[in-house]
Amino acid sequence: MASLKELKIRIGSVKSTQKITKAKQMVAAAKLRKAQAAAEAARPYSGRLEAVVASLASKIAGGSGEGASPLLAGTGKDDVHLLVVANSDRGLAGAFNANIVKAALAKARALELDGKKVQFYLIGRKGRPVINRTYPGKIVAQYDTTGVKEPGFNQAQAIAHELTDMYLNGKFDVAHLFYSRFKSALAQIPTEQQIIPVKIPADADRNAIGATVEYEPNEEAILDDLLPRNVTVQIFKALLENNASEQGASMTAMDNATRNAGDLINKLTIQYNRSRQAAITTELVEIISGAEAL
């Protein structure tokens, strides 16, 4: 059994850990509300843009087909896949980062089994060690978000710009984006989304806008204008969802940690009191038996 002093030190250390987890939990809870509001505010734009692009794209794909932007039609190859993995910069968020990385690695394995080449583009720094260990030398670039407090449209624009440039220079053929979709503070769903070329949902309603719509200047020009913007917006959405998810995961994980620390403190305190009592009893017995011997 540990000595009284050891127990006392142990209790003190668990208490200070609990203070940290408690503080982190409260910070995450405060940030969560803001992040969630931002993620929800961005939904109308991305949803509407997606709908317009889908209906325009299916219209053009159904019509001429050729001459469409490579962002829509693809490069004609399917060899090099770029996995864009969006992580956070900080830990203390439970399995949040691990889940995203796990989804990306599973996808990478599946693609390699199919004989494709896999490359990684990282957003945030938490995913790097694991991916670098599993696929050394496959990380082509990393977007640093350490200096950014909350994801803004400018970051999304910079990332999208870099990706589009790499794509048009033939560095890769297909890009998948991995992030965590925010469902609630308790549930975040690791999500994969193909961002380049744009995936047209099979059930896109071709008549959603009707045949009588006038286009200015014309369908192709509008689509050319909208496609790069769509990439930006999808990334922006992913960043916001990720941010909200991170705070949610962090809050839940830290809530658990705080509770566990409390349980541990109770257990240790009981143990401490027991050994103290045992020590006193032993001492008393010694004194009494000493007095009787006189």
Part of the chain binding other proteins (CB under 8 A), chosen from 99-107, 109-117, 220-228, 270-278 = 220-228
- 221 near other proteins, rule: CB under 8 A: yes
- 38 near other proteins, rule: CB under 8 A: yes
The residue behind tokens 């796990």 is: 102
Cα–Cα distance between 130 and 98 in angstroms, integer? 9
Supply φ then ψ for residue 237, to 5 degrees: -60, -45
Per-residue contact string for residues 116-155; x = within reach of other proteins by CB under 8 A: -------------------------------------x--
- The one among 20, 52, 61, 130 contacting other proteins by CB under 8 A: 52
Q: Are 184 and 248 in contact (CB under 8 A)?
A: yes
- The one among 41, 140, 187, 189 contacting other proteins by CB under 8 A: 41
Q: Strands 117-123 and 139-143, how do they pair?
A: parallel
Q: Which is nearer to other proteins, 60 or 92 (CB)?
A: 60
Cα–Cα distance between 207 and 192 in angstroms, integer? 28
Q: Which of 87, 76, 168, 147 is nearest to 120 (CA)?
A: 87
- 48 near other proteins, rule: CB under 8 A: yes
- 19 near other proteins, rule: CB under 8 A: no
Cα–Cα distance between 164 and 162 in angstroms, integer? 6
- 98 near other proteins, rule: CB under 8 A: no
- 203 near other proteins, rule: CB under 8 A: no
Part of the chain binding other proteins (CB under 8 A), chosen from 118-126, 134-142, 185-193, 205-213 = 205-213
Part of the chain binding other proteins (CB under 8 A), chosen from 48-56, 177-185, 186-194, 260-268 = 48-56
The residue behind tokens 């668990």 is: 14
Q: What is the largest CA-CA distance in the chain?
A: 115
Q: Strands 188-196 and 174-182, how do they pair?
A: antiparallel
Q: Are 84 and 242 in contact (CB under 8 A)?
A: no
* Positions that interact with other proteins (CB under 8 A): 38, 41-42, 44-46, 48-49, 52, 153, 156, 209-210, 212-217, 221-222, 225-226, 229, 233, 236
